[in-house]
Structure 1
Amino acid sequence: MPNAISLLDEPILVEDNLPGVGDTLPFFQLVNHLLEDVTLESFQGKRKILHFFPGIDTPVSANSVRTLDILGQTLSNTVILNISADLPFTMTRFCAMENLVHGINLSGMRGRDMFKHYGVLIMSSKLAGLPARALMVADEHDHVLHVELVADLTREPDYEAALKALSR
């Protein structure tokens, strides 16, 4: 049964493969700003915050990227992965204009199956095919410490809960 979220009052169905706390993150292959393929293995030995969002050109997504960039200044041995369906150039341009340097922007342009495997693929509504807004936190060994599929796309994730998971 798919998960249900909303966009204001419009119900949206999302793929139901969301990893749970204690699970190991599944393999992924995404694209960075140099159009290079990047996999989960690229971040071996680092703690991870995976930040999924539909696209950088919405106020909520833009603010989430800004907020995580600020938080990233204080996190040791932790990478923040901003993951969307945007082209890598779009996210790079946004972060350059905003002077954001603490996140790694990754595009699903050649890895959209990741959205399905991570349980964030929007399956219904005009946004079908994009990732839902979600935060996942994993340790150095890719074990999931925290998962939040944000209930409404117009809301930001619970950053405090993600940070608390990192401090355990």
Structure 2
Amino acid sequence: MKILIILGILGLVALLLASFLAPSDKIPKIGETAPDFKLPDQQGKVYTLEDFRGQWLVLYFYPKDDTPGCTEQACKFRDDLHQLTVLGARVVGVSVDDRNSHAKFAKKYALPFPLLADEGGEVAARYGVLQNLGVVKMARRYTFLIDPQAKIRKVYDKVETSRHSKEIVEDLTRLLADMKA
């Protein structure tokens, strides 16, 4: 009897994890207009999608400030920011952490780009990347490369934090070359 109860509990946990980790059908597709947002950064400045109109936007969602993978990803973006800027791109991070958490994270690692506080998870939900288990909410690690007309040009759903920013530099370089050809 105990084994049946344990197996039932394990089955329920597996179902919850599967739904927790499964990609959402709400994730914007390539060619669609990026969902709008209006969120404060670590300094309290409010940003909207319109603020980035006319330039490329690397909008990356991440689970939690100051955790190993998120720190590696943010620092790689910091280190490659010049290359991205030369290509006409801005980098913006989004998580459900609050402004104070973002401010500490940005200061600790000298992150020179906005980290937007999506405390309620509404923007992460609009982008289809919100993980919600009731009490715990966080963004899945996804990146959206958005063109100057606010169209999604690339969706990164399998992010390797150690080389993700380089991958974006390569992809943006290729996209820009294709547009000139």
RMSD between superposed Cα atoms in Å: 2.2
- Give the Cα separation in 2 of the matches to 1:125 and 1:54: 16
**Are 2:91 and 1:80 equivalent residues in the alignment?**
yes
Partner of 1:163: 169
How far has the Cα of 1:34 moved from its partner? Answer: 3.1
Paired AA for residue 108 in structure 1: D
> Is the deviation greater in 62-71 or in 84-93?
84-93
**Are 2:21 and 1:21 equivalent residues in the alignment?**
no
**Are 2:111 and 1:105 equivalent residues in the alignment?**
no
Equivalent residues of 2:56, 2:145 under 8 A apart: yes
Richer in helix (by share): 2
Structure 2: which 5+ runs fail to align? Answer: 1-16, 176-181
Q: Which has the higher contact order (CA 8 A, sep 6+)?
A: 1
How far has the Cα of 1:59 moved from its partner? Answer: 0.3
- Give the Cα separation in 2 of the matches to 1:135 and 1:99: 21
Structure 1: which 5+ runs fail to align? Answer: 1-9
Between the two proteins, what is the percent identity of the paired residues? 21
Partner of 2:52: 43
- TM-score norm. by structure 1 comes to 0.80
Matched positions, count: 153
Partner of 2:11: none
The one of 78, 93, 115 equivalent to 1:69 is 78
SS of residue matched to 2:138: coil
Equivalent residues of 2:55, 2:89 under 8 A apart: yes
Distance 1:158 1:32, change over 3 A: closer
- Give the Cα separation in 1 of the matches to 2:99 and 2:55: 22
How far has the Cα of 1:125 moved from its partner? Answer: 8.7
Give the 4+ runs in structure 1 shifted more than 3 A: 123-126, 157-161
How far has the Cα of 1:116 moved from its partner? Answer: 1.1
SS of residue matched to 2:145: strand
Distance 1:18 1:43, change over 3 A: same
Partner of 1:150: 158
Richer in strand (by share): 1
Equivalent residues of 1:123, 1:129 under 8 A apart: yes
Rg (Cα) greater in structure: 2
How far has the Cα of 1:32 moved from its partner? Answer: 1.4
Equivalent residues of 2:129, 2:139 under 8 A apart: yes
The one of 120, 136, 141 equivalent to 1:133 is 141
